Amino acid sequence: MTTATLPDTHADSGGPGFLRRHRMTLAPLLFLAPGVLFFLVYVIFPIFQSFQVSFYRWDGLGQPEFIGLQNYQELATDRAFEVSLWNNMKWLVLYLLAIPGGLFIALFLNQTVAGIRIYKSLFFFPFVISQVVVGLVFTWFYDPTFGLLNTLLESIGLPAINVLGDPTLATYGIIAAGLWPQIAYCMILYLTGLNAVDPEQIEAARLDGAKGLRMLWHVILPQLRPATFIAFVVTIIGALRSFDLISIMTNGGPFGSTRVLSFYMFEKALSEYGFRMGYGAAIAVVLFLIMLCFIAYFLWSMWRQERGR
Amino acid sequence: MFPRPIQQASRPAQITYQSLIPVALLMWLLPLVAVAIFSIKPDTDFTAGNYWGWPSSFQGLANYGKVFFESDMPRYLMNSVLITVPTVIGAVALSCMTGFALGVYKFRGNLWLFFMFVAGNFVPFQILMVPVRDLTLDLGLYNTKMGLVLFHVAFQTGFCTLFMRNFIRALPFELIEAARVEGVAEWRIFWFVVLPLMKPAIAALSVLIFTFIWNDYFWAVVLTQGAESQPVTAGITSFNAQYRAAYHLMSAGSIVAALPPVAMFFLMQRHFIAGLTLGAVK
């Protein structure tokens, strides 16, 4: 027992034989356990539970009643669902404008003049503020009685428009508000990407007489591919997650014309007129399946990169 | 450098560029500037219809004073802090471990587990809403800050693991090998060898998660109600209901609610941007 008092620099490395022999198996297991457990309980299992709930009629309190595919059959004839689905498509397509928009501002700002760092951060500003505040700011911007937009329109002699009160315009108005922070995000991705572009290649291309758009397309953009990929990922995710802006700016109206699936699901599941958890879950499942196509593509791209290492 | 440095252009072009930037910036931030002006205007300007003119008097102090001393705003702000800070600590701590395990050890299913985190991080919130709300109710944590924190920690662990794992992959693996040859225990390698090298990643994730959680609105509405536990994003809507049509106060309130992540961003810009690019664009 006297040896135990000797100073041991690796106090635990001489532990019980079993632990020591299996440490390369046990260590990752123990490091992973808390994170994986949490993630399974709060993220992975709920996905499957939502699938299950979508086959039930359930008000969130009483006993759920199994009704098979009825929720999905109802979706097929639900006009509001159709409108939401269409709006989601509009969001997806128009939100992608954030990528060229961000690239454009990044190219504009990629200079070294005095104070440019501050300008870059200030251009990035809209991304840092919460979507709730962005929504409020744009609601006031669009306001028909005093909004800055109409003040400007009238000053150049155009008729005033009530963007958020017009069912045909409202969704586009909200998407424009959403593009504001999203363009800022893409801009910062491209600014960091442009920093890493190989100057020698640019010089070589310049000697070959390339410039302007041709240079951008053939020399710069290929080198910006990692940035474009991330911009694409975050923009798609952002488009399908749009909820805050709609909830703040129009609350789905006018006449439900600005609903998207994420908002419609929330509205159905936790509506004032009684909770319809099952129906809400069915909407969520549809949204999830749309997203799954993109997730599969992202993972496939990542997998190819991993194998390339 | 692309585009061609403006210094190589003609003098007029340079001057045009230099003067164009502030104008472009002003236009870009116009909606925000408008709110900032609103927030220092007196009440009477709005009733008099003076929306866009110069403020007839400077009421910034009075307006912001009202927000801080005569509304629930300080409580909402406090709630936001009490939700955001524990989430940042929890998610970063968990993902340091998962990122380490996935980045350093080779075992079957490693890539699958990693992809589980990545995929989970991309799912729409709505597919989780009903079960998570139910789980939170069952745990007796509905309408508590704790309930929100637990969910946020779990969900953000997905994104953080993606980030940490890629960061650890880029570290020199020989360091770990050398420590193993020395017979250093695995947890000591984690604590004394890898963790100190992860400081930049931890800083980047902390600012980023802080912003994400501070700005969260959806889960705040789903899992809480009322001033005792709602964060400021959800609180601002009740605040606005309280001061309906009092645009000067609503503007001041919005600016106060938006400020903490903005301050965070300006203080830790480098880390923030490193985090946003997911470490992939350097």
Domain residue limits, chain B: 6-60, 69-276
Nearest to B116 among A24, A44, A126 (CB): A44
Q: Which residue of B has its CA nearest to A193?
A: B281
Instruction: Please give the C-alpha separations between residue B179 and each of A16, A19, B96, in angstroms, as whole numbers.
Output: 20, 18, 19
Q: What domains sit in chain A, N to C, each tagged with a CATH number?
A: 15-46 (no CATH), 80-308 (1.10.3720.10)
Q: Which of A196, A244, A285 sits opposite B127 (nearest CB)?
A: A285
Cβ atoms of B149 and B83 closer than 8 Å:
yes
- Are B39 and B64 contacting, i.e. CB atoms less than 8 angstroms apart? yes
- pLDDT computed for residue B218 by the predictor: 94
Query: Mind telling me how many Å the CA of B40 is from chain A's nearest CA?
Result: 15
Q: What is the pLDDT of residue B278?
A: 61
Q: What is the pLDDT of residue A86?
A: 95
Q: CB distance from A256 to chain B under 8 Å?
A: no
Q: Is the pLDDT of residue A10 over 60?
A: no
Whole-number pLDDT of residue A5: 45
The residue of chain B nearest to residue A261, with distances taken between CA atoms, is B126
In this predicted structure, the answer to whether residue B87 has a pLDDT above a threshold of 70 is yes
pLDDT at B136 over 50: yes
What is the predicted pLDDT for the residue at A309? 62
Compute the distance between CA of residue B247 and CA of residue B250 in angstroms, rounded to an integer: 5
User: Is residue A1's pLDDT more than 70?
Assistant: no
Rounded mean pLDDT, A195-222: 86
The C-alpha atoms of residue B88 and residue B228 are separated, in whole angstroms, by 21
Mean pLDDT over A32-38 rounds to 94
The ipTM (two decimal places) reads 0.89
**Least confident among A178-182, B69-73, B152-156, B200-204:** B69-73
Percent of chain A surpassing pLDDT 70: 94
- The per-residue pLDDT for B241 is 81
The shortest C-alpha distance from B71 to chain A (Å) reads: 18
Q: CB distance A41–B2 less than 8 Å?
A: no
Count CB neighbours of A85 within 10 A: 19
Rounded to the nearest integer, the mean pLDDT of chain B is 88
Using DSSP's 3-state secondary structure scheme, residue B106 falls into: coil
Cβ separation of A291 and B211 shorter than 8 Å? Answer: no
DSSP symbol at B7? G
With contacts defined as CB-CB under 8 Å, which chain A residues touch B190?
A: 31
- Sequence-distant (6+) residues with CB within 8 A of B120 are A39, A43, A44, A47, B155, B158
| Range B32-36 average pLDDT | 87
Could you give the dihedral angle defined by the CA atoms of residues B159, B165, B168 and B174, in that order, rounded to the nearest 10 degrees?
Answer: 180
- A57 bridge partner residues: A65
pLDDT for B279 equals 53
Cβ neighbours of B153 in A, within 8 Å: 38
Q: Is the pLDDT of residue A7 over 70?
A: no
Say whether A10 and B185 touch across the interface (CB within 8 A).
yes
What whole-number distance in Å separates Cα of residue A79 and Cα of residue A82? 5
Instruction: Identify the CA nearest to A248 among candidates B227, B234, B211.
Output: B234
Q: What distance in Å separates residue B261's CA from the closest CA in chain A?
A: 6
Interface probe, candidates A132, A186, A292, chain B, greatest B C-beta count within 10 A: A132
pLDDT value of residue A26: 86
Q: Can you tell me which residue has the tokens 């022999």?
A: A21
Q: Cβ of B124 and A113 within 8 Å? A: no
Chain B CB contacts of A12 below 8 Å? 185, 187-188
Taking CB atoms and an 8 Å limit, are A39 and B265 in contact across chains?
no
Q: How far apart, in whole angstroms, are the C-alpha atoms of residue A20 and residue A29?
A: 14
Average pLDDT over chain A, rounded to whole?
A: 88
Tell me the nearest-neighbour CA distance from A242 into chain B, angstroms: 10
Does the beta-carbon distance from A284 to B35 stay under 8 Å? no
**Separation in Å, CA of A38 to nearest CA in chain B:** 5
**Nearest residue, CB atoms, B158 vs list A39, A110, A122:** A39
Q: How many residues does chain B have?
A: 282
Residue A3 has pLDDT above 70, yes or no: no
- Rounded-to-integer distance, Cα A21 and Cα A15, Å: 10
**Least trusted range by pLDDT, from A89-93, B85-89, B221-225:** B221-225
A chain contacts of residue B118, beta-carbon cutoff 8 Å: 298-299, 302
Look at residue B123 and tell me whether its pLDDT is greater than 60: yes
* Region A147-161 average pLDDT: 86
Q: What type of residue sits at position B34?
A: A
* CB-defined contacts A:B, below 8 A: 290
- Residue A6 is predicted with a pLDDT of 43
**Mean pLDDT over residues B141-145, rounded?**
92
- What mean pLDDT is predicted for residues B206-218? 92
pLDDT above 80 for A8: no
A81: Cβ–Cβ under 8 A, 6 or more apart, which residues? A75, A261, A264, A283
Kindly list the residues from chain B whose CB atom is less than 8 angstroms away from the CB atom of residue A281: 130
Å between A229 CA and nearest CA of chain B: 10
The pLDDT tens digits for B145-199 are 999 999 999 999 999 999 999 889 888 888 889 998 988 888 899 999 999 999 8
**Percent of chain B scored above 90 by pLDDT?**
45
Q: Which of residues 177-236 of A touch B (CB under 8 A)?
A: 180, 185, 188-189, 192-194, 196-197, 199, 202, 211, 215-216, 219-220, 226-227, 229-230, 233
Cβ atoms within 10 Å, residue B99: 31
Which residue's entry shows tokens 């488009």?
A239
Alpha-helical (H) ranges within B123-246 are 126-138, 145-169, 173-181, 186-188, 195-197, 199-214, 218-223, 232-242
Mean predicted confidence (pLDDT) in A150-163 = 86
Which two tokens mark A219? 């020399």
Q: For the segment B6-15, what is each residue's pLDDT rounded down to a tens digit? A: 888 888 888 9
CATH superfamily ID and name for B69-276: MetI-like (1.10.3720.10)
The answer to whether B157 touches B98, Cβ cutoff 8 Å, is yes
pLDDT score recorded for residue A158: 85
Q: Do B129 and A269 touch (CB under 8 A)?
A: yes
**pLDDT at position B51 over 60:** yes
- The A residues from 271 to 290 touching B (CB cutoff 8 Å) are 277, 280-281, 283-285, 287-288
Q: Which residue of A has its CA nearest to B5?
A: A111
